[in-house]
Amino acid sequence: MAKIAINIATGSLQQAEMIVGIDLGTTNSLVAIIHPETKKPIALKEHNSSSLVPSVIHFDELGNITVGEEAKKFLETDPANTIFSAKRLMGKSYNDIKQNANFFTYKVIDDDTESLVKVQVGSKFYSPIELSSFILKELKARAEHILKTPVTKAVITVPAYFNDAQRQATRDAGKLAGLDVLRIVNEPTAASLAYGLGLAADEEKTIAVYDLGGGTFDISILKITNGIFEVLSTNGDTYLGGDDFDRVIVEHWMTEFGITEDELHLNKELSQGLRLRAEEAKKYLSSNESFSVDFNGDNLSITKEKFESLIQSLIDKTLQCCVNAVKDSKVAISEIETVVMVGGSTRIPAVKKAVSDFFNQPVHDEVNPDEVVALGAAIQADILAGNNKDFLLLDITPLSLGIETMGGLMDVLIPRNSKIPTKVGRQYTTQKDGQGSMRISVFQGERDLVKDNRRLAEFNLTSIPGMPAGFPKVEVSFLINADGILVIKAKELRSGVEQSIEVKPQYGLTDEDVEKMLLESITHAKDDIAIRAIVEAKTEGEQILETTEKFLTKNSHIVSQPEMIATAQAMQNLQLALTMDDKDLIHSKIEELNEITRPFAERAMDAAVSGALKGKTV
Ligand code: ADP
Ligand code: MG
């Protein structure tokens, strides 16, 4: 039975449960809602404090956990027990992050390279999912405190390049925090929504979303058609952001006061003090010409002009990513109609000017850049709550998804760039008589052989009742739901046995990996096609040998002695051809054998044989 909530204080009926929008950021996280009266999105904050919750978690020696501003104070003074940037570890293996292992001042465990990373704090081990769940729990508690009502449903945003593993990890973190994650939305999509883009039914628009946060830079080119968001391309730098701007100011002061790297490294008070003042200076310079502060009797100062000259090369780096993104999107820069600024670091006037010059138009910066993603998530939440029924928001898959078929070939069910949600089904059959199970191995990637792609999952469809080879009809279906999570189902249609799994990929992919995989698929395309042709020919040859042999054992009475000898000879020739990587030779031997056996089949009209000659086997 559904319950109706009544506000005890006022006696009024509480409105339907609120679905919140959450921006789970690398540096800062926050919650937003649609205000029940004004119907406008607002970021939640306690009186007189910021809406931003630093994505930092501190563990004290008693095991107490603090999250946010309080935890941030321990970044330099207790680095081993203070976790920042947990988002960078989501859905990743140690292999994925090992080049950047120095970045983490806490202990990231290097155990089994293919499994998901763990973080060690004292004697305890935490997964990135658990760490993110601590941040989400804090956000949930804050929202409940402010709204004075339980919060159990949320929309959470992720970068557009997040793969299945990372989206699933984010979803799991929500679950662990006690949140039902109704949808995972791409950050640039959310930011666009906050600007009202994509909300008009017949709107068609190409948008660039420039997101410069604390430690990461993302540029996305989106196309909106009838309320559908399509990610045309993404690019960026996962280690470039506001922290680097702070760092150049610290280095400027170090040179000025003759402080060495070693001194800074050994003196945590000093490094913390300088970093905090550098960030303060940077923010101040976004709206003032010069900054100056007393620090232990010394005067730390910097002008806006100096700061801008120090960060110019970093800004140029982001513009190079924009060049690449525009190139990949296949749209001309002049066709980009709107540019949206996201992330705290886009407050810097020099950044705004550079981006505006690059895209040749004024940029959108009216909405608070640290809140814009969360505000968009709240709009999406409101649509899901049914308050705004006209819209359905979609995204696309960055890489192809398929299963392994005979000979290790990749059979693509959902090609890359398919709009999601999407569902595709395809039929397969067995290879051997009485085969009771079928292995379904799921891969992601663009190469023709599965060994060159990424294995996402594997399972056995068991309890297939005994039938001749080629007789069972196994329907394999892939469903990508609106969050980009893949559900694979295999069902034997004659018997009805079925099995399904949700994909929990073994390890994640970065956007560079995606790019690399796409590039490799192009450079290897010719070889891949040739190998595929050979594998297919061999598979066909093997199947024909098997069915012919079976046929002859069963139907020897309708085959004459000379025919039998000719068949055996043709089979031997084919067998020999299969040992060579020559598809044309194999095909010619298949044809020769077929020539001889064709009349037998006509004679016998064996349904099982014709069945076996059709259909693919897994
Ligand atoms: P993320 O999306 O990575 O969690 P945010 O969008 O919250 O990050 O951006 C945080 C960064 O924005 C920090 O480096 C912070 O110093 C920077 N920032 C915030 N306000 C300003 C400002 N007024 N001027 C320059 N940088 C700012
Ligand atoms: Mg962000």
Residue 50 lies in a domain: yes
Ligand 2 center from residue 25 Cα (angstroms): 5
Nearest ligand, CA of residue 72? 1
Q: Is residue 522 part of a domain?
A: no
**Cα–Cα distance, 282 to 284 (Å, whole number):** 5
Task: Report the nearest-CA residue for atom 12 of ligand 1.
Answer: 344
- Using most ligand atoms within 8 A of CB, pick from 28, 216, 307, 308 the residue to mutate for ligand 1: 28
For the chain, what percent of residues have pLDDT higher than 90?
57
Sign of CA dihedral 404, 504, 152, 192: negative
Atom of ligand 1 nearest to the CA of 241: 14
For residue 188, the ligand closest to its alpha carbon is: 2
Q: How far is the CA of 69 from the centre of ligand 2 (A)?
A: 17
pLDDT over threshold 70, residue 115: no
Task: Pull the structure tokens for residue 105.
Answer: 């001042």
Whether 141 and 34 map to the same domain: the answer is yes
Ligand nearest to the CA of 280: 1
**Using one digit for the tens of pLDDT, what is the confidence trace for 362-413?**
999 999 999 999 999 999 999 877 776 555 444 667 788 999 998 899 998 9
| CATH code of the domain in which 574 resides | 1.20.1270.10
On the question of pLDDT at 256 being above 70, the answer is yes
283 CA to middle of ligand 1, Å? 8
Residue 220 C-alpha to ligand 2 middle, in angstroms? Answer: 13
* 450 inside domain: yes
CA angle 44/50/56 to nearest 5° reads 100
Give residue 341's domain range.
Answer: 196-366
Q: Are residues 148 and 201 in the same domain?
A: no
Q: Residues 130, 187, 536, 542: which is the catalytic one?
A: 187
Task: Quickly list DSSP for 196-259.
Answer: TTT-STT-EEEEEEEEE-SS-EEEEEEEEETTEEEEEEEEEETT-SHHHHHHHHHHHHHHHHT-
Tens of pLDDT along 499-555?
A: 998 874 334 566 677 777 777 876 787 788 788 888 988 988 998 998 899 888 888
Of 26, 27, 29, which is best to mutate to test ligand 1, by the most ligand atoms within 8 angstroms of its C-beta?
Answer: 27
Give me the percent of the chain exceeding a pLDDT of 70: 90
The pLDDT value recorded for residue 11 is 42
Q: Is residue 1 part of a domain?
A: no
Ligand 1 centroid–CA 285 distance in Å is: 13
Distance 360 CA to ligand 2 centre (A): 24
Closest ligand relative to 288 C-alpha: 1
Q: Quick one: which atom of ligand 1 is closest to the CA of 370?
A: 6
| Residue 611 banded pLDDT, cuts 50, 70, 90 | low
User: Which has the higher per-residue pLDDT, 470 or 53?
Assistant: 53
Q: 212 and 189: one domain?
A: no
Q: From the candidates 96, 130, 211, 243, which is the catalytic residue?
A: 211
Protein residue closest via CA to atom 19 of ligand 1? 344
Residue whose Cα lies nearest atom 8 of ligand 1: it is: 213
Ligand 1 atom 23 nearest Cα:
283
Mean pLDDT of 79-85: 94
Q: Which of 494, 515, 536 is the last residue of a domain?
A: 515
Residue 594 is given by DSSP the state: H
Note the pLDDT tens digit of each residue in 25-38: 999 999 999 998 89
Q: Is residue 492 assigned to a domain? A: yes
Atom of ligand 1 nearest to the CA of 25: 4
**Binding-site residues, ligand 1, Cβ < 6 A:** 25-28, 213-216, 241-243, 279, 282-283, 286, 343-345, 347-348, 370
Residue 116, pLDDT above cutoff 80 = no
How many A from CA of 157 to the centre of ligand 2?
Answer: 9
Please write the tens of the pLDDT for every residue from 413-437: 987 766 677 888 999 998 888 999 9
Q: Are residues 83 and 52 in the same domain?
A: yes
Residues 6+ apart with CB under 8 A from 326: 208, 221, 233, 332, 333, 336
Q: Which amino acid is at 370?
A: D
Taking the CA of 160 as reference, the closest ligand is 2
More confident residue, 493 or 117: 493
Please report the atom of ligand 1 found closest to the CA of residue 55: 4
3-state secondary structure of 345: helix
CA of 344 to the centre of ligand 2 (A): 8
User: Is 211 annotated as catalytic?
Assistant: yes
Q: pTM of whole model > 0.95?
A: no
- Domain check: are 55 and 182 in the same one? yes
Domain count, the chain: 4
Q: Is-catalytic flag, 23?
A: yes
Give the ligand 1 atom nearest the CA of 285.
Answer: 24
Determine the distance from the C-alpha atom of residue 22 to the mean position of all C-alpha atoms in its chain, rounded to a whole number: 17
Residues 6+ apart with CB under 8 A from 243: 27, 214, 215
Q: Are residues 220 and 186 in the same domain?
A: no
Q: Which residues contact 65 (CB under 8 A, 6 or more apart)?
A: 57, 58, 59, 134
Which pLDDT score is estimated for 48?
83
Distance CA 155, CA 153 (A): 7
The reply to whether 275 and 342 lie within a common domain is yes
CA of 348 to the centre of ligand 1 (A): 9
| Cβ neighbours of residue 569 closer than 8 Å, sequence gap 6 or more | none
Spatial contact of 235 and 40, defined as CB atoms under 8 Å apart: no
Same domain, 580 and 605: yes
Which one from 23, 243, 371, 536 is the annotated catalytic residue? 23
Active site (annotated) includes residue 112: no
Residue 4 lies in a domain: no
The residue whose CB lies within 8 Å of the most ligand 1 atoms, and thus the one to mutate among 282, 285, 318, 352, is: 282
* Residues contacting residue 368 through CB under 8 Å, at least 6 positions apart: 43, 375
Question: What is the domain-level CATH number for residue 294?
Answer: 3.30.420.40
Residue 133 pLDDT level (bands cut at 50, 70, 90): very high
| pLDDT surpasses 60 at 609 | no
Strand partners, 294: 299
Distance CA 236, CA 212 (A): 9
- Looking at residue 482, which CATH number applies to its domain? 2.60.34.10
Residue 506 lies in a domain: yes
Q: What is the mean pLDDT of residues 161-189?
A: 87
- Based on the residue annotation, tell me whether 87 is a catalytic residue of this protein: yes
Higher pLDDT, 396 or 353: 353
Among the options 72, 76, 87, 395, which is catalytic?
87
Lowest mean pLDDT among 320-334, 397-411, 572-586, 597-611: 597-611
Q: In terms of domains, do 37 and 158 share one?
A: yes
Domain edge (last residue) among 332, 354, 382: 382
Structure tokens at 127: 């997964």
Domain end marker among 482, 515, 548 = 515
> Residue of the nearest CA to atom 6 in ligand 1?
343
Question: 248 and 235 share a domain?
Answer: yes
**Least confidently predicted of 26-40, 86-100, 114-128:** 114-128
Same domain, 270 and 335: yes
Residues 351 and 222 in one domain: yes
In a domain, 604, yes or no: yes
